[in-house]
Structure 1
Amino acid sequence: MASRFIKRIKEYTGELKFKLYSAFGIMLVLIALSTATAVLLAVKQVIIVQVGQSRIDVLKQISERSNIIKNNLITVINLYKYNTDLVRYLSQTEAGNVQKNVFELDEKRKNFDVVFKDIGFEYDIVIQGENGFVYSSYKEGSYDFESLKTQLWYKKSYDEQGDMSFVSYKNGFIREKEKATYVFGGFSKIKDASGNVLGTILISVDENVLESLYAGFETQGNVYIFDKKGNVVSSRDKSILGKNMIGAENFRKLYGNGSSHIIKKLGKYYFLSNCYDSQTGWTIVEEIPCEIMFSVLINMTGYLAVSMVVFLFTAAFISYRQAKSISEPIASLCQSMKRVSSGEFICVQEENACNEVLALGKSFNSMSGKIKELLEDIRNNEKEKRKSEMDFLRAQINPHFLYNTLFSIQCMAELNKNEQAVKMIKAFIALLRKTLSTDRDLIPLREELENTKSYLELERIRYSNIMDYEIEVSTELESCQVPALILQPIVENAIFHGLEAKDSGGLIVLEVLKDGEDLLINISDDGKGMNIRRLKEVRARINLDEDEARKSIGLVNVSGRIKINFGKEYGLTIDSEENIGTCVSVRLPIIKGTEYEDTYSG
Structure 2
Amino acid sequence: MRRSRPVSIKTKIILICMVVIVLPITVMTISSYRSSERLLERNYKRIMEDLGYQTSIRIDDFLKKIEKISLLASTGLSGSQSATGDGSDPVQDFLREGGEPNTTLAYNNLMTYIMMEDRVFSIYLYNLNGGPDLIVSPNSPVHEAYNVETELWYKKFMHDKERTITLTTRVDEQIETKPLAVSHARKIYDSSSGALLGVIVVSIDIKFVENVNRNLQDTFRSNYMIVDSEDKIVYSRNESLIGTLFRANVRPDEKRNIVVTNRLGQKDWMTYLYMPKSELTNEGRLLGRNLLLLAVVMVLFAAIVSSFLSSVIARPMKKLMNNIVLVEKGHFERVQQINARDEFGQLSQRFNKMADELKRLVGKIQQDEIEKAKTEIRALHSQINPHFLYNTLGSLKWIAAMQQSDKIVDMTEALISMLRYASRLESPLVTIREELDNVDNYITIQNVRYYDSIQIRREIEEPLLDYRIPKMILQPIIENAIFHGFAELEEEGCITIRIYSIQADVAIEIHDNGAGMEEETVRCLLESWRTGTEAEARGIGLFNVQRRIKLHFGERYGIGVASSPGEGTTFTFLLPGIS
Say whether the 8 Å CA contact 2:123–2:201 is kept in structure 1.
Answer: yes
Q: Distance in 2 between matches of 1:145 and 1:577?
A: 95
CA 541–321 in structure 1, closer or farther in 2 if over 3 Å, else same: closer
Corresponding residue of 2:204: 205
Say whether the 8 Å CA contact 2:127–2:197 is kept in structure 1.
Answer: yes
Is 1:529 aligned with 2:515? Answer: yes
Corresponding residue of 1:24: 16
Corresponding residue of 2:456: 469
Q: Counterpart amino acid of 1:24?
A: I
CA 248–297 in structure 1, closer or farther in 2 if over 3 Å, else same: same
Deviation by residue 1:111-138 (Cα, 9 ceiling, x = unmatched): x749x82x75764433335444666462
After superposition, residues 192-591 of structure 1 pair within 5 angstroms as 199-207=198-206, 209-215=208-214, 219=218, 221=221, 225-228=225-228, 230-231=232-233, 233=235, 235=237, 240-241=238-239, 244=242, 246-248=244-246, 253-255=251-253, 261=257, 275-279=261-265, 280=267, 281=269, 283=271, 285=273, 294=281, 312-313=299-300, 315-319=302-306, 322=309, 329-330=316-317, 332-345=319-332, 349=336, 351=338, 361=348, 364-365=351-352, 368=355, 389-397=376-384, 399-438=386-425, 443=430, 445=432, 447-459=434-446, 467-471=454-458, 472=460, 475=463, 478-482=466-470, 484-498=471-485, 505-514=492-501, 520-526=507-513, 528-530=514-516, 532=518, 539=525, 543=529, 545-548=532-535, 553-559=540-546, 561-562=548-549, 572-576=559-563, 580-587=567-574, 590=576
Q: Distance in 2 between matches of 1:206 and 1:542?
A: 95
CA 251–422 in structure 1, closer or farther in 2 if over 3 Å, else same: closer
Is 1:57 aligned with 2:50? Answer: yes
Q: Distance in 2 between matches of 1:432 and 1:415?
A: 25
Cα deviation for residue 66 of structure 1 reads 0.9
Is 1:189 aligned with 2:187? Answer: yes
Say whether the 8 Å CA contact 2:489–2:515 is kept in structure 1.
Answer: no
Q: Structure 1: which 5+ residue stretches go unaligned? A: 1-15, 262-271, 594-602
- 3-state secondary structure, aligned to 1:254: coil
Say whether the 8 Å CA contact 2:327–2:335 is kept in structure 1.
Answer: no
Q: Counterpart amino acid of 2:201?
A: L
CA 562–82 in structure 1, closer or farther in 2 if over 3 Å, else same: same
CA 246–580 in structure 1, closer or farther in 2 if over 3 Å, else same: closer
Deviation by residue 1:7-27 (Cα, 9 ceiling, x = unmatched): xxxxxxxxx999966752344
CA 336–408 in structure 1, closer or farther in 2 if over 3 Å, else same: farther
Q: Counterpart amino acid of 1:61?
A: Q
CA 213–18 in structure 1, closer or farther in 2 if over 3 Å, else same: closer
Deviation by residue 1:37-86 (Cα, 9 ceiling, x = unmatched): 67556655654554454344323322111121122223223334556999
Q: Counterpart amino acid of 2:508?
A: I
Q: Counterpart amino acid of 2:264?
A: S
- 3-state secondary structure, aligned to 1:126: strand
Q: Counterpart amino acid of 2:52?
A: L
CA-atom RMSD in angstroms: 5.3
Q: Counterpart amino acid of 1:54?
A: I
Q: Counterpart amino acid of 1:219?
A: D
Cα deviation for residue 360 of structure 1 reads 5.4
Q: Counterpart amino acid of 2:16?
A: F
Say whether the 8 Å CA contact 2:461–2:499 is kept in structure 1.
Answer: yes
Percent of counterpart pairs with the same letter? 23
TM-score normalised to the size of structure 1? 0.69
| Count of aligned pairs between the two proteins | 552
Corresponding residue of 1:149: 149
Cα deviation for residue 320 of structure 1 reads 5.2
Say whether the 8 Å CA contact 1:431–1:454 is kept in structure 2.
Answer: yes
Deviation by residue 1:297-352 (Cα, 9 ceiling, x = unmatched): 65676677667656545544554565576656555555544554455556854637
Q: Distance in 1 between matches of 2:233 and 2:243?
A: 6
After superposition, residues 149-188 of structure 1 pair within 5 angstroms as 149-155=149-155, 163-173=164-174, 179-188=177-186
CA 149–330 in structure 1, closer or farther in 2 if over 3 Å, else same: farther
Say whether the 8 Å CA contact 1:397–1:553 is kept in structure 2.
Answer: no
- 3-state secondary structure, aligned to 2:535: helix
Q: Counterpart amino acid of 1:203?
A: V
Cα deviation for residue 464 of structure 1 reads 7.3
CA 335–509 in structure 1, closer or farther in 2 if over 3 Å, else same: farther
Say whether the 8 Å CA contact 2:57–2:264 is kept in structure 1.
Answer: no
Say whether the 8 Å CA contact 2:129–2:197 is kept in structure 1.
Answer: yes
Q: Distance in 1 between matches of 2:167 and 2:419?
A: 121
Corresponding residue of 1:264: none
Cα deviation for residue 577 of structure 1 reads 5.2
Is 1:127 aligned with 2:125? Answer: yes
Cα deviation for residue 548 of structure 1 reads 1.4
Cα deviation for residue 379 of structure 1 reads 5.3
Cα deviation for residue 546 of structure 1 reads 1.0
Is 1:70 aligned with 2:59? Answer: no
Q: Counterpart amino acid of 2:271?
A: T
Say whether the 8 Å CA contact 1:166–1:184 is kept in structure 2.
Answer: yes
Q: Distance in 2 between matches of 1:95 and 1:189?
A: 14
Q: Distance in 2 between matches of 1:536 and 1:209?
A: 93
Say whether the 8 Å CA contact 2:146–2:173 is kept in structure 1.
Answer: no
Q: Distance in 1 between matches of 2:137 and 2:32?
A: 65
CA 197–274 in structure 1, closer or farther in 2 if over 3 Å, else same: farther
Corresponding residue of 2:3: none
CA 180–348 in structure 1, closer or farther in 2 if over 3 Å, else same: same
Deviation by residue 1:420-465 (Cα, 9 ceiling, x = unmatched): 3224333433332332122655555554344334434555677676
Deviation by residue 1:574-594 (Cα, 9 ceiling, x = unmatched): 444566543333455x3859x
Say whether the 8 Å CA contact 1:211–1:234 is kept in structure 2.
Answer: no
Q: Distance in 2 between matches of 1:26 and 1:416?
A: 103
Say whether the 8 Å CA contact 1:549–1:556 is kept in structure 2.
Answer: no
TM-score normalised to the size of structure 2? 0.72
Q: Counterpart amino acid of 1:125?
A: I
Q: Counterpart amino acid of 1:76?
A: I
- 3-state secondary structure, aligned to 1:548: coil
CA 548–69 in structure 1, closer or farther in 2 if over 3 Å, else same: same
Deviation by residue 1:199-237 (Cα, 9 ceiling, x = unmatched): 4332223445444323455825476654426455575xx
Q: Distance in 1 between matches of 2:11 and 2:233?
A: 67
Q: Distance in 2 between matches of 1:497 and 1:365?
A: 60
- 3-state secondary structure, aligned to 1:71: helix
Q: Counterpart amino acid of 1:126?
A: Y
Q: Distance in 2 between matches of 1:173 and 1:398?
A: 115
Cα deviation for residue 523 of structure 1 reads 1.7
Q: Distance in 2 between matches of 1:109 and 1:591?
A: 112
Say whether the 8 Å CA contact 1:188–1:201 is kept in structure 2.
Answer: yes
